[in-house]
């Protein structure tokens, strides 16, 4: 099915108003959860943080760079002044894109109840 390239996933095809097709494949592995192999379901949620950066944020930022509206070597605080709290005042947009801004790699639990 997926030749071992990944443990599985959930495929969803939608048109903006409703789901057309949803199918789950595979399961969590022992390395992902401590209590055995559990199948993915159509409701399984995945952390897409790094994928969102590549598929959405990066292309939007580079569009702004191409239009001359921002520079990846600008300080984040130029656009979001309150970002400079707690020693982050020297962070560049480039740092955020390269994952070397010194931010924590995961959101502390519990996750907020938002979409």
Nearest to 39 by CA among 50, 62, 15, 23: 23
User: What does the alpha-carbon distance between residue 46 and residue 42 come to, in Å, rounded to a whole number?
Assistant: 11
Give yes or no: residues 52 and 92 share one domain. yes
Structural domain boundaries enclosing 115: 47-115
Is residue 84 predicted with pLDDT exceeding 50?
yes
Task: Look at the chain and report how many structural domains it folds into.
Answer: 2
Is residue 25 predicted with pLDDT exceeding 70?
yes
pLDDT at residue number 75: 96
Percent share of the chain, pLDDT over 90: 31
pLDDT at residue number 67: 97
Give yes or no: residues 60 and 74 share one domain. yes
Give yes or no: residues 82 and 95 share one domain. yes
pLDDT at residue number 87: 87
């Amino acid at each position: 099915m997926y030749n071992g390239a990944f443990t599985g996933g959930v495929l969803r095809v939608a048109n903006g108003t409703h789901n057309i097709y949803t199918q789950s494949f595979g399961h969590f592995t022992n390395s992902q959860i401590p209590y055995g192999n559990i199948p993915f379901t159509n409701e399984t949620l995945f952390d897409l943080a790094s994928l969102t950066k590549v598929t959405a944020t990066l292309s939007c930022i580079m569009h702004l760079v191409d239009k001359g509206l921002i520079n990846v070597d600008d300080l984040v605080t130029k656009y979001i002044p309150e970002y400079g709290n707690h020693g982050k005042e020297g962070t560049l947009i480039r740092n955020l894109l390269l994952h070397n801004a010194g931010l924590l790699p995961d959101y502390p639990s519990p996750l907020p109840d938002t979409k």
